[in-house]
């Protein structure tokens, strides 16, 4: 027997969207302020150097990493993200070359903030998804609490500015839970 569905919360107002925007700005600030942490020392965060080495292998056409620490799809994602932003940076004169491998060889510290930005973006997206999902199911107060808690959460912010899969995993896990809950409420099931 299905539990009764709670009444839907009122549609978000401009003030609600403004509040979410403020929380997302706070989340963004906390996740991007340390993108250059430890640089120019490449091993300040021990997981990052081997991940970037694998992205360089992919850029050189070697896709069988023979390395089981992180899933290959995660490494490919970082390689493609890096390639994209190295080309954009070179096109705007922010980077000396659009060659990913050459940038790694000649000026590796410049790749770190680019790659860390992917984790930061995933972290901010997780805050947004959590706030919106809570709003739809639980209302304004819960949405504000959830988004504020996650935006200001030390561990989530810390892991969202490092080259490691934690922020991406949090985003994907939350998306799966949200979609699963939606499917569970579907009348066809």
Q: Mean per-residue pLDDT for 119-129?
A: 98
Residue 189: pLDDT band (50, 70, 90) is low
DSSP letter string over 105-146? HHHGGGHHHHHHHHHHHHHHHHHHHHHHHHHHHH-HHHHHHH
Domain carrying residue 48: 43-185
| pLDDT the model gives residue 93 | 97
35 located within any domain: no
DSSP SS3 for 162 = coil
pLDDT of residue 2: 55
Q: Using one digit for the tens of pLDDT, what is the confidence trace for 37-94?
A: 999 999 999 999 999 999 999 999 999 888 888 899 999 999 999 999 999 999 999 9
Q: What is the pLDDT of residue 185?
A: 84
pLDDT band (50, 70, 90) for residue 8: low
Residue 2 in any domain: the answer is no
pLDDT at 149 over 80: yes
User: Quick one: pLDDT band at residue 6, thresholds 50, 70, 90?
Assistant: low
pLDDT range class, residue 31, cuts 50, 70, 90: very high
* 20 inside domain: no
Secondary structure of residue 175 in the 3-state scheme: helix
Residue 146 lies in a domain: yes
Cα torsion 87, 92, 94, 97 to 10°: value is 40
Q: Cα–Cα distance between 30 and 86 in angstroms, integer?
A: 24
Q: What is the pTM of this model?
A: 0.89
Split at pLDDT 50, 70, 90, the class of 187 is confident
Residue 175 lies in a domain: yes
Identify whether 18 is part of a domain: no
Is residue 37 one of the residues assigned to a domain?
no
Number of domains present in the structure of the chain: 1
22 pLDDT more than 60: yes
Residue range 92-109: average pLDDT?
97
Residue 34 within any structural domain of the chain: no
Cis ω before 87 (30° cut-off from 0):
no
């Amino acid at each position: 027997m299905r539990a009764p569905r709670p009444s839907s919360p009122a549609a978000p107002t401009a003030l609600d969207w403004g509040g979410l925007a403020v929380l997302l700005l706070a989340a963004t600030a906390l996740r991007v302020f340390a993108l250059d942490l430890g640089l120019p020392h490449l091993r300040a965060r021990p997981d990052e150097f081997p991940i970037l080495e694998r992205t360089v292998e992919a850029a050189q056409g070697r896709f069988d990493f023979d390395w089981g620490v992180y899933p290959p799809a995660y490494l490919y994602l970082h390689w493609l993200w890096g390639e994209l932003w190295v080309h954009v940076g070179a096109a705007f004169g922010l980077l000396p070359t659009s060659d990913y491998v050459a940038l790694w060889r000649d000026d590796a510290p410049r790749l770190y903030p680019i790659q860390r930005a992917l984790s930061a973006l995933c972290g901010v997206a997780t805050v947004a998804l959590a706030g919106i999902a809570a709003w739809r199911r639980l209302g304004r107060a819960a949405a504000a609490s959830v988004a504020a808690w996650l935006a200001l959460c030390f561990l989530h912010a810390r892991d969202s500015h490092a080259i490691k899969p934690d922020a991406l995993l949090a985003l994907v896990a939350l998306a799966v839970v949200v979609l699963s809950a939606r499917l569970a409420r579907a009348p066809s099931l």
